[in-house]
Amino acid sequence: MADLRVLRIPHSTNVERIALAAAHKGLTVEWIDVDPDDRRAVRDVSGQDLVPVLLLDDGEALADSPRILEWIEERWPTPSLWPADPGDASLADVFCHRFNEVWKGPPNRIAAVLGPVGFDTDRLTDRQRRAVEEDAARMRTWLDRFEERLGEHEHLCGDAFGICDVTAYPFLRYGLRPPAADDVDPDGFHRVLHEHGRFDAASHPRLTAWVDRVAARPQA
Ligand SMILES: N[C@@H](CCC(=O)N[C@@H](CS)C(=O)NCC(=O)O)C(=O)O
């Protein structure tokens, strides 16, 4: 039997976090594929619609990727995803919280505005267009902050691969390369990540090298 049993839908950035973390710890995962248009299986076990959902041995389930990652770390602490120094570990928590609660806001809002008009910007109102531009500017500013951070260390939490990389990579990687033909999500979220979070080796050399470093890592 696999170490973890996880419900997923295709192309999920938050599911990819679990795949990276599990492989880092050498854990096996039984992936249970769910129809994105029929969330009953997810709702029945977890009381909500979003994936990933981790199935626990006692029949309970755990939703929300940050909570699942913490659960995995508690159960299999070695090799750790958090820095050994308690202060650095707290900073890693702050980074992840901010990534989830602040960084994700602009691309989610842009996708919510552009998705319904089929990415046809001519169909946006002036107010919507301004809102998209402001959020796109926020995304570009964050890219510069990541670039600066990676000037000091090989990974976002420090020199070792860890929870900050697991949290951010599945989203930031689309800035370097567009979704592959078999990786296109129906909501257009990946397209937003690519078009508005775009960077390359000339504009962000360290971020580019970091994406390539994490891309080379195994995923469960
Ligand atoms: N906070 C949650 C967010 C989960 C989430 O947004 N999952 C997406 C896939 S990446 C989903 O299920 N989306 C389906 C939908 O919105 O209908 C987490 O980190 O796991």
Residue of minimum CA distance from atom 15 in ligand 1? 50
Instruction: Please tell me the pTM assigned to this model.
Output: 0.96
Q: How far apart are CA 212 and CA 172, in angstroms?
A: 11
Convert the pLDDT of each residue in 25-41 to its tens digit: 999 999 999 999 999 99
Residue of minimum CA distance from atom 14 in ligand 1? 50
Cis omega (within 30 of 0) on the bond before 36? Answer: no
Question: Residue 141 belongs to what H/E stretch?
Answer: helix 126-152
Residues 16-24: what's their mean pLDDT? 98
Amino acid at 193: L
Instruction: Point out the ligand 1 atom lying closest to the alpha carbon of residue 13.
Output: 10
176: nearest Cα among 190, 189, 166: 190
Q: What are the angstrom distances between the C-alpha of 118 and each of 110, 111, 178, 208?
A: 12, 10, 17, 29
Convert the pLDDT of each residue in 100-135 to its tens digit: 999 999 999 999 999 999 999 999 999 999 999 999
Convert the pLDDT of each residue in 59-87 to its tens digit: 999 999 999 999 999 999 999 999 999 99
46 lines ligand 1 (CB under 6 A): no
**All domains of the chain, ordered by start, with CATH?**
4-75 (3.40.30.10), 86-215 (1.20.1050.10)
Q: How far apart are CA 140 and CA 66, in angstroms?
A: 24
Q: What is the Å distance from ligand 1's center to 177 Cα?
A: 22
167 lines ligand 1 (CB under 6 A): no
18 lines ligand 1 (CB under 6 A): no
pLDDT at 49 over 90: yes
Please count the other Cβ atoms lying within 10 Å of the Cβ belonging to residue 169.
Answer: 22
Phi, psi (deg, nearest 5) at residue 100: -75, -40
State the greatest distance between any 2 C-alpha atoms of the chain, in Å, as a whole number: 55
Handedness of CA 120, 126, 128, 132 (dihedral sign): positive
In a 3-state reduction of DSSP, which class is residue 31?
strand
Residue of minimum CA distance from atom 12 in ligand 1? 50
Q: What is the Å distance from ligand 1's center to 154 Cα?
A: 28
Q: What are the angstrom distances between the C-alpha of 64 and each of 8, 52, 138, 192?
A: 12, 6, 25, 22
68 lines ligand 1 (CB under 6 A): no
Residue of minimum CA distance from atom 9 in ligand 1? 12
Residue of minimum CA distance from atom 11 in ligand 1? 50
13 lines ligand 1 (CB under 6 A): yes
In a 3-state reduction of DSSP, which class is residue 132?
helix
Instruction: Give, in degrees to the nearest 5, the angle at Cα 141 between 139 and 147.
Output: 105
On whether the CB atoms of residues 170 and 17 are closer than 8 A, the answer is yes
Q: What is the Å distance from ligand 1's center to 208 Cα?
A: 26
196: nearest Cα among 151, 135, 125: 135
